[in-house]
Amino acid sequence: MTAVRTAPTHELGAERLASLRALLDSAFGGDFSAEDWDHALGGVHAWIEDGRGPVAHGAVVQRRVLHRGRSYRTGYVEAVAVRADARRRGLGGAVMGALERVIDATHAFGALSASDEGAALYRGRGWRVWGGRIEVLGPGGVVRLPEEEGGVLVRPAGALALPDPGAPLVFDWRDGDVV
């Protein structure tokens, strides 16, 4: 088994952060924006290294999600990637296992926005496609995001069962991709 390392952003240092960002830029084919990177910072990172540097990465950050009149501390997964030459070896699953342990210990539930390519990994780990509305509490109030519906997955953590899809998940506002 390959060792998965975990640490909060503030403990990574400039050199490791730069190498993780380079992995993400490469893995996403140049489609990993400054906002995407910003979304991955401030939480806990899980990564695997080999002799050439980072080979897999993911992060979980705290987001507030309103649901049925309550504000939940949600573990939101960001920036999951595996270097192209190391895919299909279980490294993404190993990184997700570490992130799920963080979510289980510190959040009401987990959430993430999955690409078509990544959705199978998450579904295979028990994450479920959110069947309800997705909204954001933006500067002008609550806005529905129908283009995000069907692409957000959730996972129970701790004692909380999955939220009720009859009521929307209302995410906190952020620049770039809101969800």
Cα angle for residues 75, 76, 78 (degrees, 5° grid)? 135
Bridge-based pairing of strands 70-82 and 109-113 is: parallel
Residue 48 has pLDDT above 80, yes or no: yes
Residue 165 has pLDDT above 90, yes or no: no
Phi, psi angles (nearest 5°) of residue 108: -70, -40
Could you tell me which CATH number the domain at 5-172 has? Answer: 3.40.630.30
Residue 18 has pLDDT above 90, yes or no: yes
Q: How far apart are CA 164 and CA 158, in angstroms?
A: 16
Residue with tokens 């080999």: 50
pTM: 0.94
Tell me the C-alpha to C-alpha distance, in Å, between residue 170 and each of 89, 93, 155: 35, 28, 16
**Average of per-residue pLDDT across 103-127:** 93
Looking at every residue in the chain, the average pLDDT score rounds to: 94
At 58, list the tokens: 């993911």
Share of the chain above pLDDT 90, in %: 89
At 92, list the tokens: 């993404």
At 112, list the tokens: 């993430």
pLDDT tens-digit series, residues 67-99: 999 999 999 999 999 999 999 999 999 999 999
When computed from its CA atoms, the radius of gyration of the chain, rounded to whole angstroms, is 16
Residue 163 has pLDDT above 80, yes or no: no
Q: Is 90 helix (H, G, I), strand (E, B) or coil?
A: coil
Bridge-based pairing of strands 53-67 and 44-50 is: antiparallel
Place 166 in a pLDDT band, splitting at 50, 70 and 90.
confident
Place 169 in a pLDDT band, splitting at 50, 70 and 90.
very high
